[in-house]
Amino acid sequence: MLTLKSQEFAILTSSERVLDFLSDTKNYGLLLPANQTSDFQCTPTQFSFKAAGQVNLALEKQTVEPQLLHFKGLQSNPFAFDLYVHFQHQEGQTTGHIEIKADLNMMLKMLIEKPLQKLLTEMAANLAVQLA
């Protein structure tokens, strides 16, 4: 199991605002890096996109809690993975990170570990920009 985490984000806003923003699947289109993804689509419970111009990835909302959002990759994906957004409110700001847990064979891990890490880093940075 591969676990990747973004850098910690810190946003000068309430955790309720972060939760409201992240609970709406259409907002993930604002978080995904435009230069690495395309064909973003969403419904109220799912979103999908093409990563690196090659791989279609689709996620479905599983859990929405006051400090955690969980999306599960659909079976149509080329590998099994889950996306988590962890956050908490402290001292006038909301901090947290975005995490992917993926079930990958060694070959796939070598191919996609760095692009996935870059994706998480950019998503966290874009979240901070969107809610600043």
Q: List the domains of the chain with CATH numbers.
A: 2-130 (3.30.530.20)
Low-confidence stretches of the chain (pLDDT beneath 50): none
pLDDT, residue 91, reads 87
pLDDT of residue 14: 93
DSSP H stretches of helix in the chain: 15-23, 28-31, 106-130
d(CA 22, CA 45): 12
Contact 31, 114 (CB under 8 A): no
Q: Which pLDDT value is given to residue 108?
A: 87
Whether residue 120 contacts residue 30, with contact meaning beta carbons closer than 8 Å, is answered with no
